[in-house]
A and B are shown apart, each in its own frame.
Chain A
Amino acid sequence: MKFYVTETKTPTSNPQTLIQVLAPTNTRVRILGAEIGLRGSTPATTPIAFDWVIQTSAGTSTAITGQKRDRGCDESIRATILTDFSAEPTGTTQVVTFSMHQQAMYPWRPRIPILVKGGERVGLRYRSATYVETVLTLYVEE
């Protein structure tokens, strides 16, 4: 099943996990890509770093619902999507890292999708003390 996950968030700490994908038991999830937009207004500021990391806990967060690509399909999304982190998850093994200008939009298309094995957690972290609104959409498949 293919689905979208959307989130708009202005981080308040460094680092801050913006979104975490928890694969259900015995099911693999692939993160196929994303669109990430930053809404800063200070062009001369150093770009903002992001990384995808393997995480080992949920931190303190809120579950949100993905949107199925096929809205007529009667099956449910099984992966858990967490956001709105007020306490960071544990785990720092980096899978992907990149940086973006604070007024840029990045259509991220990994050469190899991020594979989240059954029961595993992977999170996207914002790593800067310059806090600007981040608008993102993930493309996910399970």
Chain B
Amino acid sequence: MLKYTLDYTCTPAANPTTIFQVLAGSAVYVHITGIDLSLRGASPATAPVPFDWVVQSTAGTMTSQTPVRQDRGLTKTISSTCTVNATVEPGGNTPTIWVCSLHQQATLYWRPVFPIRLEPSERVGLRYRSSTYVEVAFTIYLEE
């Protein structure tokens, strides 16, 4: 089991925006075991921002981001692919696996009861679904 994290900070500019997508390697299952996600808004009375995890079928146009292995002494290579901050949204977006919302000045320490599990070669994306655009800083915890 290879554990790794991916950190990123962005400000979405469209609703929805996939802020993170992971594509599982062709011969591995990937587990998303948690997120730390902070919003840096300045309007306390605005409705919280909804997020969802969805299964996606294409890559869209996103930026590659290299995750960091927990055990950097290992030589094994991470076989999944992580991308962030879509400028063209990925396709599919069904089924929806998980939904929630977060106040724009709050932090979410999400430790799911059971992880989101990707089949080999499957894509799952985390979408920001609001037209109130605030900075999002997140860390995703993964295993394969």
Q: Are A133 and B103 in contact (CB under 8 A)?
A: no
Q: Which of B45, B95, B98 contacts A42 (CB 8 A)?
A: B45
Known: A39-B50, A135-B50. A6 touches B113 (CB 8 A): no
User: 1/0 contact trace for B68-106 toward A, CB 8 Å?
Assistant: 000000000000000000000000000111111111001
A56 within 8 A of B: no
13 contacts between A and B (CB under 8 A): A4-B98, A6-B96, A32-B114, A35-B99, A35-B110, A36-B100, A37-B48, A42-B45, A71-B119, A105-B103, A132-B47, A135-B99, A136-B100
What residues of chain A lie closer than 8 Å to B46, measured between beta carbons? 41
Q: Are B96 and A38 in contact (CB under 8 A)?
A: no
Number of chain B residues close to chain A: CB under 8 A: 30
B30 within 8 A of A: no
User: 1/0 contact trace for B105-136 toward A, CB 8 Å?
Assistant: 01011111111110100100000000000000
B19 within 8 A of A: no
Q: Which of A7, A43, A70 contacts B44 (CB 8 A)?
A: A43
What residues of chain A lie closer than 8 Å to B122, measured between beta carbons? 71
In the complex, besides A6-B97, A37-B48, A135-B50, 16 extra interface pairs with C-beta distance below 8 angstroms are A8-B50, A35-B98, A36-B100, A37-B99, A37-B102, A67-B95, A69-B114, A69-B115, A71-B117, A103-B103, A105-B101, A105-B102, A105-B103, A132-B47, A136-B99, A139-B114
In whole Å, how far is B116's beta carbon from the nearest beta carbon of chain A?
8
User: 1/0 contact trace for A57-72 toward B, CB 8 Å?
Assistant: 0000000000101111
Report A72-128 residues with CB < 8 Å from chain B CB. 72, 103-105, 107, 109
